[in-house]
C-alpha cells in the first residue's frame, strides 16, 4: 500500500518507486530495442556495423602513428594503449552524448503517456555497448599482432570493469537526460565537456608524461573507468583503487539519479 499525500494521491517516492520497478522489469525490452535499432540502422548495408568499425580502425591507426611519433613511444606498448583507450572513451562519450538528448528525441512517446524514461536511457547505453563489442575486433587484432597474450582471468576482469562502467553510464546518462530536458542549453554544454574530457583523459598520452603532476590523473573518474578494462587486457594488471573509485562513482550516480527522478518524474511531460 502506497504512502499517500494529503490530497489522497500517492507520494512522489511511491510513484517513483513504482515507475522504477516497472522499468527494471522491462530491461530485456530495452536490450531488444537496442538490437533492432542497430539492425535498422545498417539495413541493406554490405558490412553493417562493421563500416563503423572500419572507420574507427583507420582513425586509431592515424592517431597511434602521429602521437607515437611525437612521443617517440615503442609501438608494441603505445599502440595497444591508444587502441584500448580510444575505443572505451569513444563508447563512454557517445553514450553520454546520446543519453543527454534521448528524452527530447522520444518526446512524442512521453506525450502519449509513456513513462518508461529509464528504459530510453538504457536503450542508448545498450546500443552503444553492442557497437563497442563490434569495435573490440580492432583491439583483438592489435593484441595478436603485437603478441600480447591474454588469459581468461584478464578477460573476466575486463568484463567486470565493463559491467561497472555500464552501471555508471546509466546513472550519469539518466541525470544528463533529465537535465537536458529541463534546461535545453544543457545539451551543448555536455558536448563541450566531453570534448574537454577527451583531452584530459590519458588515451593518446600516458600519465608519466605529466611528471610530478602525474597524480592529477587520479582526479579524473573516467580515467579509472578505462583502467578497469585497459589494464587487464594490455598490462595484465588490475588496480584496486580504480575498482573502488568506479564503485563509488556508480553508487553516487545512482543515488543522484534516484533523487532527481523522484523530484522530476511528474514534471517530465511539462518540460517537453
> Are 135 and 48 spatial neighbours (Cβ–Cβ below 8 Å)?
no
Query: What is the pLDDT at residue 245?
Result: 95
Burial class (CB in 10 A: 0-12, 13-18, 19+), 209: exposed
Give 222-257 pLDDT, tens digit per residue.
999 999 999 999 988 889 999 999 999 999 998 998
SS (H, E, C) 239-251: CHHHHHHHHHHHH
Residue among 129, 120, 122, 127 nearest 102 (CA): 120
Query: What is the pLDDT at residue 67?
Result: 85
6-to-2, 3, 9, 105 alpha-carbon distances in Å: 13, 10, 7, 35
SS3 10: strand
Contacts 24+ apart (CB under 8 A), 32-37: 33/123, 34/123, 34/124, 34/126, 34/127, 34/129, 34/130, 35/130, 37/123, 37/127
Predicted TM-score of the model (pTM) = 0.89
Query: What is the pLDDT at residue 92?
Result: 96
Query: What is the pLDDT at residue 7?
Result: 54
> Are 175 and 257 spatial neighbours (Cβ–Cβ below 8 Å)?
yes
Query: What is the pLDDT at residue 1?
Result: 39
Query: What is the pLDDT at residue 216?
Result: 85
Query: What is the pLDDT at residue 146?
Result: 87
Instruction: Pick out the chain residues at pLDDT < 70.
Output: 1-9, 44-49
3-state helix, strand, coil in the chain (%, to 5): 80, 0, 20
Query: What is the pLDDT at residue 88?
Result: 95
Query: What is the pLDDT at residue 45?
Result: 67
Query: What is the pLDDT at residue 240?
Result: 93
Query: What is the pLDDT at residue 186?
Result: 86
Query: What is the pLDDT at residue 46?
Result: 65
**Cα-based angle 157, 59, 239 (whole degrees, multiple of 5):** 20
> Are 207 and 217 spatial neighbours (Cβ–Cβ below 8 Å)?
yes
Amino acid at each position: 500500500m502506497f504512502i499517500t499525500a494529503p490530497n489522497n494521491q500517492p507520494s512522489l517516492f511511491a510513484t517513483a518507486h513504482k515507475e522504477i520497478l516497472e522499468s527494471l522489469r522491462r530491461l530485456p525490452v530495452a536490450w531488444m530495442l537496442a538490437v533492432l535499432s542497430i539492425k535498422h540502422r545498417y539495413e541493406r548495408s554490405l558490412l553493417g556495423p562493421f563500416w563503423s568499425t572500419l572507420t574507427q580502425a583507420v582513425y586509431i591507426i592515424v592517431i597511434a602513428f602521429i602521437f607515437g611519433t611525437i612521443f617517440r613511444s615503442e609501438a608494441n606498448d603505445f599502440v595497444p594503449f591508444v587502441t584500448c583507450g580510444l575505443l572505451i572513451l569513444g563508447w563512454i562519450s557517445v553514450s553520454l552524448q546520446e543519453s543527454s538528448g534521448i528524452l527530447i528525441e522520444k518526446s512524442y512517446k512521453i506525450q502519449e503517456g509513456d513513462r518508461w524514461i529509464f528504459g530510453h536511457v538504457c536503450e542508448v547505453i545498450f546500443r552503444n555497448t553492442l557497437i563497442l563489442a563490434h569495435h573490440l575486433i580492432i583491439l583483438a587484432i592489435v593484441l595478436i599482432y603485437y603478441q600480447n597474450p591474454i588469459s581468461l582471468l584478464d578477460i573476466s576482469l575486463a568484463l567486470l570493469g565493463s559491467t561497472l562502467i555500464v552501471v555508471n553510464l546509466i546513472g550519469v546518462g539518466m541525470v544528463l537526460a533529465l537535465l537536458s530536458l529541463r534546461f535545453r542549453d544543457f545539451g551543448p554544454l555536455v558536448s563541450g565537456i566531453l570534448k574537454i574530457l577527451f583531452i584530459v583523459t590519458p588515451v593518446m598520452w600516458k600519465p608519466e608524461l605529466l611528471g610530478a603532476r602525474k597524480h592529477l590523473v587520479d582526479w579524473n573518474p573516467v580515467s579509472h573507468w578505462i583502467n578497469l578494462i585497459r589494464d587487464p587486457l594490455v598490462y595484465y594488471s588490475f588496480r584496486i583503487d580504480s575498482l573502488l573509485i568506479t564503485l563509488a562513482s556508480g553508487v553516487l550516480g545512482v543515488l543522484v539519479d534516484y533523487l532527481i527522478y523522484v523530484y522530476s518524474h511528474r514534471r517530465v511531460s511539462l518540460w517537453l
